Amino acid sequence: MWSDMSETPIQATLRQVYVHWPAYLVGYGGGALLALVVVFISMQRQWWGFIPLMLAFLLLLAYFFAASLWVAYQKNETAATLILLTWAQLQPTDSFAHIDLGRRSVGERLARYLTTGKLTVIDVYNPQLTPGAALARARSIAGPMLLSDPRLTCLEGSIDLLPLPDKSMLVVTMIYTLPEFWQQGDQEQLLQEIYRILKPGGRLILLEQARQPANIMMLGPLVWHWPAAAHWQHLLQKTGFTIRKQEMIQAGLTVAFRADKPVQFQNRQLDLRF
């Protein structure tokens, strides 16, 4: 059902590189240029001991450059969208909400799955709370949502007020959104708002990048700043969600959660420890 998607994995990878181009230019390009300058100076002054060291540094830099491209390639939004739909147990006639930061592509992919169903995309972007330059570039190249699609409704919201009534949604989806809010309190507030708009028994399908020993050993500094999966698990449980399913996906780079809002009798059972 995804055969009509216009963006190929290679194009999606190149888009990720463009969004993060300063890191590539300064980090990889600057590091390689510095190493070559040291090699040139060492050859001129016959400092032969520096040359193998710089060549080893260049090899390491090339490895992490290739690893960064692999990470960008693995963040396949088409596959991630399919996981959102499958884990949410959605039908083409269902209505649900997707929390986004104006990057557009996942919302449009989700809407294409629907027939008579409705998707409400809520943009919670705030330049003060999400000041990342990469996110701003991603928004700028995404452009406006396809508002001519009758299956799609786009709303502006905030982490402390999603523009939907209490207990109005059975399913909410979200992908690569929470880490853009640098304060944990902001992350918690957005999850609390999602909890508010979900019906009892409703479910949140959440995909986020996660650090774990396997990808640290393989990718090194590329994933050091990612939160561990336990961080997201803690936030969901603190908000009141019950985690029904948790799985590492996309070659262990992403953690997927299905987190349910308990129904009233479940809350009483937990309180009474039945």
How many residues appear in the chain?
A: 274
Residue bearing tokens 């990612």 = 226
CA 1 to chain centre: 23
Q: What is the CA radius of gyration of the chain?
A: 22
Could you tell me the two tokens for 112?
């294409």
Question: What are the structure tokens assigned to 147, written together?
Answer: 């508002």
The pLDDT of residue 45: 87
pLDDT of residue 274: 40
Residue 234 neighbours by CB distance under 10 Å: 14
Per-residue pLDDT of the chain (274 residues; tens, 9 = 90+): 333 345 677 887 888 888 888 888 888 899 999 999 998 998 998 888 888 999 999 998 998 888 888 888 887 778 888 899 999 998 999 999 999 998 888 888 899 899 999 999 999 999 999 998 888 888 888 776 666 788 999 999 999 999 999 999 999 999 999 999 989 999 999 999 999 999 999 999 999 999 888 787 777 777 888 899 999 999 999 999 999 999 998 888 899 999 999 997 655 454 444 4
pLDDT of residue 77: 78
- Dist CA 257 CA 20 (whole Å): 26
DSSP the chain: --TT----HHHHHHHHHHHTHHIIIIIIIHHHHHHHHHHHHHHHHT-TTHHHHHHHHHHHHHHHHHHHHHHHHH--HHHHHHHHHHHHT--TT-EEEEEESS--HHHHHHHHH-SS-EEEEEE---TTT---HHHHHHHHHH-S--TT-TTEEEEE-BTTB-SS-TT-EEEEEEES-GGGS-SHHHHHHHHHHHHHHEEEEEEEEEEEE-B-HHHHHHHGGGSTTSPBHHHHHHHHHHHT-EEEEEEEETTTTEEEEEEEPPPHHHHHHHHHT-
Tokens for 129?
């709370």
